[in-house]
């Protein structure tokens, strides 16, 4: 009986996992079902499907390719149609270029372009950030962890109520607490200012 219960729970968990690998989409275009959001004034970000033979699941990735962006902005690509409060969100990401910074990350409990949580990994720093009324603020001291350029890393956030944990390549490196946004919201991807970043295998597991 315990074995049957375990299998039923495992099947339910697997059914809730949504995995997006971008491999059957049109190159050079923003994928359908995603909304591009700009958290700054000026040139909007450009999120496009690109080909990359190093992709974990070949041949395509989602990339933020514009370098003409405000230095203090967070270019966002938000997945429509998913309500997420608790669970896991992860992605494989590769920094490829950036004048001042090469960073990117995950967004969750997104309400609008002025209110959401994000985790950003750039260089040798990983940060948990709350953006509320357009103002970013850290919700934990940043962790020191190198994110190599031109190489793939796995970034994951787990959320349970007001508690968040961040993993890089399956190693927990950061955690924090915040209760500004307690309801469900959308999920997505972000970059740091004018970083050119590639993303693959975006996974969402609500619980």
pLDDT of residue 42: 58
Write the pLDDT tens digit of every residue in 86-118.
999 999 999 987 666 678 999 999 999 999 999
- pLDDT bracket for residue 4 (50, 70, 90): very low
* Total domains present in the chain: 1
Q: Quick check: 10 pLDDT over 70? A: no
Residue 97 lies in a domain: yes
d(CA 125, CA 3): 42
**Could you tell me the pTM of the whole model?**
0.88
d(CA 115, CA 125): 23
CA dihedral for 143, 36, 26, 83, sign (positive or negative): positive
CA dihedral for 29, 32, 34, 39, sign (positive or negative): positive
Residue 61 lies in a domain: yes
Residue 81 lies in a domain: yes
- pLDDT bracket for residue 12 (50, 70, 90): very low
Which SS3 state, helix, strand or coil, does residue 125 take? strand
For residue 33, the enclosing domain spans 19-206
d(CA 34, CA 42): 21
pLDDT of residue 76: 93
Query: Two tokens at 3?
Result: 């074995």
How many C-alpha atoms does 139 have within 13 Å on its Cβ side? Answer: 25
133: left (phi over 0), alpha (psi -120 to 50) or beta: left
pLDDT of residue 1: 45
Residue 52 lies in a domain: yes
Residue 114 lies in a domain: yes
Write the pLDDT tens digit of every residue in 42-63.
567 889 999 999 999 999 999 9
Residue 1 lies in a domain: no
Per cent of the chain over pLDDT 90 is: 67
Residue 98 lies in a domain: yes
Residue 9 lies in a domain: no
CATH number at residue 98: 2.60.120.560
Residue pair 19/203 in contact by the 8 Å Cβ criterion: yes
pLDDT of residue 66: 78
Residue pair 34/49 in contact by the 8 Å Cβ criterion: no
């Amino acid at each position: 009986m315990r074995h049957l219960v375990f299998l039923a729970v495992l099947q339910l968990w697997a059914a809730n996992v949504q995995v997006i690998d971008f491999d059957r989409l049109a190159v050079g275009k923003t994928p359908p079902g995603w909304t591009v959001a700009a958290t700054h004034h000026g040139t909007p970000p450009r999120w496009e499907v690109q080909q990359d033979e190093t992709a974990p699941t070949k041949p395509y990735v989602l990339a933020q390719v514009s370098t003409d962006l405000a230095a203090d902005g967070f270019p966002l690509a938000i997945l429509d149609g998913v309500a997420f409060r608790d669970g896991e969100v992860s992605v494989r990401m590769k920094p490829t270029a950036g004048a001042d910074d090469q960073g990117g990350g995950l967004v969750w409990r997104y309400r609008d372009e002025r209110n959401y949580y994000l985790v950003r990994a750039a260089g040798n720093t990983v940060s948990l950030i709350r953006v509320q009324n357009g103002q970013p603020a850290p919700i934990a001291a940043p962790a020191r962890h190198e994110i190599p350029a031109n190489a793939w890393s796995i970034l994951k956030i787990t959320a349970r109520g007001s508690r968040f944990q961040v993993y890089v390549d399956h190693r927990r490196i950061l955690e924090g607490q915040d209760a500004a946004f307690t309801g469900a919201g959308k999920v997505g991807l972000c970059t740091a200012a004018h970083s050119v970043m590639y993303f693959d295998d975006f996974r969402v597991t609500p619980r």
